Structure 1
Amino acid sequence: MGVYPIEPIEPVEGYAMEFEAADGAEDGSELEEWPDRYVFDIVMSAERLPSLILQLLGLMPAHVYPILDFIGHDEYREIDPYISYDQIGIDLLLDAIRQFRGFFCEDGMVGFGAMSESPFFYMFVDEHKILTLRVEPTLKDRIERLLEAFDLELCPEPVGVDAVAHEHRSVLILPAERPNALSAEEIVGHLRQEWRLILNVDPEQNLDEEGRELGLTAWRAVIRSGTGDDEPSRYAEILLRASNLAEAEEIAHSGVEELVEQPPDEDWMDMVVLALDRLGEERMLVLATTLGEDVASRATEKEPGVIHSRWLE
């Protein structure tokens, strides 16, 4: 597993359940954000978790809203939260879980799930591999019967790895022949396209986790680019400064175009952002110094734009 306890722990399989009343809209209107629901917090072994996930997805409607959390490398945010405002076919969710089973069900850097509105059904597996369900009351009995089939019992307090001090690690091992391949980031990039995910932060602001405005910051982007022909995709690393996410993406794309000997037409090159993380000044300077004195000097300039771009071979 990708979450390692660093204190003694005695896991307790089972589930806790409670009722939550409907949430009213923050503006005081009659609109309900989430209806009355039962919440199930489920702890079970990693070996059996995938089977339960597939069974639960079978209870959801044909189209759902996907959810993805990823513990990336952003200096000012622990988790990158991805959501979709578009429903996708449940088959796309099932295909991804089967294809990337180890990443979803064992990796300590990712959480994932789905939600439907009718019936209301929220399922999320966090980075500790604790499964949380929120379902409308009509589904309560079906969920209980399913958990009983997995020999999971109602208990006062299921105990998972999150109950003690622990470390998060990735279980993905990069092949020696591709030392620069960013496997986890590639999977996230693939899911962003397939599930139509967007990063759930304001692209026009640059805030830390406490909501403080950061202004101009350093960023590191990794972008996969290709022509769509038979030629393999290439990976570019861009170091830059920008005042918000939207500006950082624009500058990162321009950094890739600078690397191309003959810049293509807009429709000719496909570019996918695999990583776009903010860096602290110390981390940026260390990284820039490894790339040469000229890069280190440009890294001290406090202006929006590309600091350095290169292909990752």
Structure 2
Amino acid sequence: GPLHSHRTGSTAAQCGSLAAARTAPSLRAPCSSQQVIMATRALFVSLLLALCSALGEGVSALRGRSNGDAVKFDFTPFLIQYQSGRVQRLMGTSVVPPSVDARTGVASTDVVIDQGTGLAVRLYRPSRRGRLPVLLYFHGGAFVVESAFGPVYHNYLNVLAARAGVIAVSVNYRLAPEHTLPAAYDDSWTALQWVLSNARNGSGYGASWLSKHGDMSRLFVAGDSAGGNIAHNLAMRVGQQGLGQDDGKGRIKGVALLDPYFLGGHARLYETPGEGHCYFLNNLQSPKAAAHMATVAEFVSHS
């Protein structure tokens, strides 16, 4: 399944910094410098182990008794689910409002596209004139965290929309465990149908961007991490069922899976050795992230 539990060394690092602040006690008997060093190291290790043990027990105790809830599923560093059904997300909860980005000139706005489920999208429109390609984007986050409205994806889509010259539609699909799969897959289909419908007769701020400026013959689907999985699933469904309510003018011209795997069709493989998972979302000014951005932008704008 999509859930792979892994832990970080943050607790140990914190323990190390706490232990390093402690000093060795004064020694009553004369000792050689080597003995002092060895004794200090032994004390440091003992304190480190004790502090780590205490912190670990404290965190476990706090988690276990939070609001009287017992832990049902610990998916650190992403979330903790309690027996009551309450979900505590540990990352990816920050959101930023839509805006006109000062760096790129890209405008963004939010639209709720399904009142029943609360499904919403954030649209991005660059300042370029004429009909532009449309990019349907799905964020990552192990299917359980992050948001189309989060600062990481807001920053990334602002830059990508400007560089590629596309209208981007970032989908805030429903998350597990409250909404288990195939909820996210269903949301991707709903988002695609909304894009196609509003490309024909969209009205109102945001939706009209598609009807006035979007070119449905150059429709792209993309996503990173879990979003890449969703994009892949959507593309396969389109391959089996067609575009749904499309009037014949729409066409998915490319699929970009940014932790990619392709089944059939033409694949362009791109790899950056020595970098971590989805490194390209952070520090967009770094040479490797900039090269990755250029590759994705070129794929969308010149395919």
TM above 0.5, one fold? Answer: no
Higher share in strand: 1
Higher RCO by CA contacts (8 Å cutoff, separation 6 or greater) = 1
From the two aligned structures, give the one with the greater helix fraction.
2
TM-score (normalizing by structure 2): 0.23
TM-score under structure 1 length normalisation: 0.22
